[in-house]
């Protein structure tokens, strides 16, 4: 059994998921540490404020006992509070010389002087850090009420344990979510890569599947499919052009070869030789015209001519083209009517290709509409689009053939005796596509009504000086 090769992007970025996961973990740790600091500072402030309030209340009560009941009652009260004190509560009573009278604070530190909730470090009888408040009584003795850091340390332990538990939950959930998202992303990337590999292997019909265009991978898939549709259309068009050229140019090239072979024979009469050379020259001209038309179609359909699109006054362009083709239509025994608006109609267009498209429509009308037909050129404005219409009263085109005659090298039976290449309407359709419009062949009742929808470009009026 053949083992499927690992995709190149997986080999090149094999550590990428791990790196992303590590980055996410570091980010969570940093965010959690910042949150821990904020919570700790807030909790520390609350605890210290509460302990300060309690210590001041104790100080005021003991000071009141001294004033009302004297020194002995104060000593007894301090001793009783020391004996039954809650965790963290500290008391000390010292005479004017600093000798201890009661309490568990037995050494009077100089830092106690004028202490108003001051942080003091004691070394005896055991090392400790206290927040103390000192009051000098009327007889000179000093009452010290303090709180050690045991409550704060207990709060710290609770915060750390809670942080560790919460962080463990977050890391486990984050790791699972990261692995799930990583697997989902890689699955979608695999689908896109598989489509690309199928395309590279020659399967131009391969497409990426996606569930929702609003999803980032859905947008990538939709864009990729649109690109593949465009590539497939160009490839099909290229094959069609190649096959059509091979088919339709074989005959003129064969006739050209025969004419040249006849002209090169020594026994050919001079007059016949010139006739053969003239026929070969005519075939060369038709062949070059066909190749030029195919190049115009290819450039228009691929969008390569879009950089040559500029603001163009459609009204002035139609006046010029109809003046050129008026003699041809008159020679065909037909009547030409031009119905154009009085004001300029500005569109963004490839002027040369648009002239050629309109000329092709008028040329077809002069050939196929027949003697006595009426040919009308008009322009209509339709909701942001300019509708260019060339209509005649000839035999028209069967509705079932309206789409087919726009293809390359397609000529209906009545047209085969005219010697045309079958590219006239294909050029018009390519012109419409370049201008983001469409060519529609409709029944004129009787006759043919060819309609080109072209996008307006009114903003060009101010930039081109057209009026």
Q: Do domains 230-301 and 308-464 have the same CATH topology?
A: no
Q: Is 419 left (phi over 0), alpha (psi -120 to 50) or beta?
A: left
Taking 50 as the threshold, does the pLDDT of residue 233 lie above it?
A: yes
Taking 60 as the threshold, does the pLDDT of residue 464 lie above it?
A: no
Task: Look at 360 and 463; give whichever has higher pLDDT.
Answer: 360
Token readout for 239 is 């094959």
CA separation for the pair 155, 43 (Å, rounded): 8
Cβ atoms of residues 365 and 375 within 8 Å: yes
| pLDDT at residue 414 in the model | 45
Q: Using DSSP bridges, classify how beta strands 374-382 and 335-339 pair: parallel, antiparallel or unpaired.
A: parallel
Has domain 230-301 been given CATH number 3.20.20? no
Of 169-183, 380-394, 426-440, 452-466, the one with minimum mean pLDDT is: 452-466
Owner of token pair 């109609």 = 345
Has domain 308-464 been given CATH number 3.40.50.2300? no
pLDDT, tens only, 6-62: 554 444 444 455 666 677 777 877 887 888 788 878 887 888 888 888 888 888 898
| pLDDT at residue 463 in the model | 40
pTM beyond cutoff 0.85: no
Q: What percent of the chain has pLDDT over 90?
A: 3
Q: Using DSSP bridges, classify how beta strands 89-94 and 142-148 pair: parallel, antiparallel or unpaired.
A: antiparallel
Burial state string for 195-210 with b = 16 or more CB within 10 A and e = fewer than 16: beeebeeeeeebbbeb
Closest by CA to 294, choosing from 347, 227, 247, is: 247
Sheet holding 128-136, edge to edge: 100-103, 89-94, 142-148, 128-136, 116-122
CA angle, 390 then 394 then 400, to 5° = 85
CA separation for the pair 233, 226 (Å, rounded): 11
Taking 70 as the threshold, does the pLDDT of residue 403 lie above it?
A: no
DSSP state of 137: -
pLDDT, tens only, 247-306: 556 667 777 788 788 878 888 888 888 888 888 887 787 677 666 656 666 665 555 556
Of 68-72, 129-133, 361-365, 382-386, the one with minimum mean pLDDT is: 382-386
Q: H or E segment at 117?
A: strand 116-122
Closest by CA to 119, choosing from 154, 149, 151, is: 149
pLDDT, tens only, 110-129: 888 877 888 888 877 778 88
DSSP state of 208: -
Where are the extended beta strands (E) located within 38-110?
Answer: 89-94, 100-103
pLDDT band of residue 76 (cuts 50, 70, 90) is very high
The DSSP-derived string for 276-291 is HHHHHHHHHHHHHHHH
pLDDT, tens only, 191-218: 778 887 887 787 767 777 766 666 777 7
CA separation for the pair 456, 438 (Å, rounded): 14
Query: What does the domain layout of the chain look like in residue ranges?
Result: 230-301, 308-464
Closest by CA to 137, choosing from 78, 90, 80, 86, is: 78
Cβ-based neighbours of 419, under 8 Å, separated by 6 or more: 286
């Amino acid at each position: 059994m053949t083992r499927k090769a690992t995709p190149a992007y997986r080999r090149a970025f094999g550590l990428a998921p791990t790196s992303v996961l590590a980055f996410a973990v570091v980010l969570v740790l940093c965010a959690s540490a910042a949150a821990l600091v904020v919570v700790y500072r807030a909790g520390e402030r609350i605890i210290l404020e509460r302990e300060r309030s309690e210590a001041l209340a104790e100080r005021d009560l003991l000071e009141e006992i001294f004033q009302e009941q004297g020194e002995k009652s104060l000593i007894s009260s301090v001793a009783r509070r020391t004996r039954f004190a809650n965790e963290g509560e500290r008391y000390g009573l010292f005479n004017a010389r600093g000798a201890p009278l009661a309490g568990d604070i037995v050494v009077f530190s100089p830092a106690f002087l004028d202490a108003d909730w001051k942080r003091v470090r004691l070394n005896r009888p055991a090392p400790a850090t206290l927040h103390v408040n000192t009051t000098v009584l009327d007889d000179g003795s000093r009452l010290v009420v303090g709180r050690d850091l045991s409550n704060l340390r207990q709060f710290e332990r609770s915060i750390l344990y809670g942080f560790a538990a919460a962080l463990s939950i977050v890391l486990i959930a984050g790791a699972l979510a990261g692995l799930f998202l990583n697997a989902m992303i890689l699955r979608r990337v695999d689908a896109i890569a598989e489509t690309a590999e199928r395309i590279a292997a020659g399967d131009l019909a391969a497409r990426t599947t996606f569930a929702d265009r609003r999803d980032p991978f859905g947008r990538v898939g939709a864009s990729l499919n649109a690109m593949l549709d465009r590539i497939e259309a160009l490839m099909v068009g290229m094959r069609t052009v190649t096959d059509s050229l091979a088919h339709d140019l074989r005959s003129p090239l064969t006739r050209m070869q025969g004419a040249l072979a006849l002209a090169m024979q020594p026994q050919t009469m001079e007059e016949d030789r010139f006739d053969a050379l003239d026929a070969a020259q005519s075939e060369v001209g038709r062949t070059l015209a066909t190749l030029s038309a195919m190049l115009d179609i290819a450039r228009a359909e691929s969008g390569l001519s879009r950089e040559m699109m500029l603001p163009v006054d459609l009204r002035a362009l139609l006046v010029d083209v109809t003046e050129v083709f008026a003699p041809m239509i008159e020679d065909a025994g037909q009547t030409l009517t031009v119905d154009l608006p009085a004001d300029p109609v500005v569109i963004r267009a490839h002027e040369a290709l648009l002239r050629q498209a309109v000329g092709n429509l008028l040329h077809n009308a002069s050939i196929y509409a027949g003697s006595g037909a009426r040919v009308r050129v008009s322009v209509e404005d339709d909701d942001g689009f300019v509708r260019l219409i060339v209509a005649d009263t000839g035999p028209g085109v069967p509705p079932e053939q309206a789409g087919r005659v726009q293809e390359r090298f397609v000529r209906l039976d009545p047209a085969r005796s005219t010697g045309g290449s079958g590219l006239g309407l294909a050029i018009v359709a390519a012109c419409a596509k370049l201008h983001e419009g469409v060519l529609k062949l409709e029944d004129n009742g009787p006759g043919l009504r060819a309609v080109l929808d072209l996008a307006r470009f009114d903003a060009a009026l101010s930039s081109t000086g057209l009026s």
